[in-house]
Amino acid sequence: MFKSFICLLAILSLLFISCSGSENYEKAFGYEQNGKSFIKVKGKRKLMGHDPGSVLSNETYEDSVIFQVPSLQAGTIKGEYIPVQKGRYKYLGQIIIDGDNVQVNLSYDNTDDKKIEPTSWNGKYFLVRE
């Protein structure tokens, strides 16, 4: 009985470790293109974290997301004003620009499951204007 408990605990620990491990970089990049403003954030993600083989390899890849924002001026941008591609969940929450700092606090409005799910990109960043 005790051995079964230890085995189960080890498996659950591996699954927990494999699902965590995403890391957002400290810098966000603000830029304008074709008269529109964008903020790009980058981070490291685990490769197929729910695949048992990937759990053991602990491999990662670099990922990013680009938010189209009304402007790069200081202020609060409500999630509802951030455009999303057709078929994607809309954003709730906000992005706050304060000088050279950006705070992302967004969630997905998961209308299928009737849930609000925080994005993995939430956090504070140093804004580099390009």
37-65 tens-digit pLDDT: 999 999 998 876 555 665 566 678 899 99
Kindly tell me if the per-residue pLDDT of 15 is higher than 50.
no
Cβ density class 70-101: b for 16+ within 10 Å, e for less:
eebeeeebebeebeeeeeebebbbbbebeeee
18: domain range?
2-129
Lowest mean pLDDT of 25-34, 57-66, 110-119, name the range.
57-66
Q: Confirm if 107 and 116 have CB atoms less than 8 A apart.
A: yes
User: Residue 54: what are its φ and ψ, rounded to 5°?
Assistant: -70, -25
pLDDT in tens, 89-99: 999 999 999 99
Its pTM surpasses 0.85:
no
- What's 121's DSSP letter? T
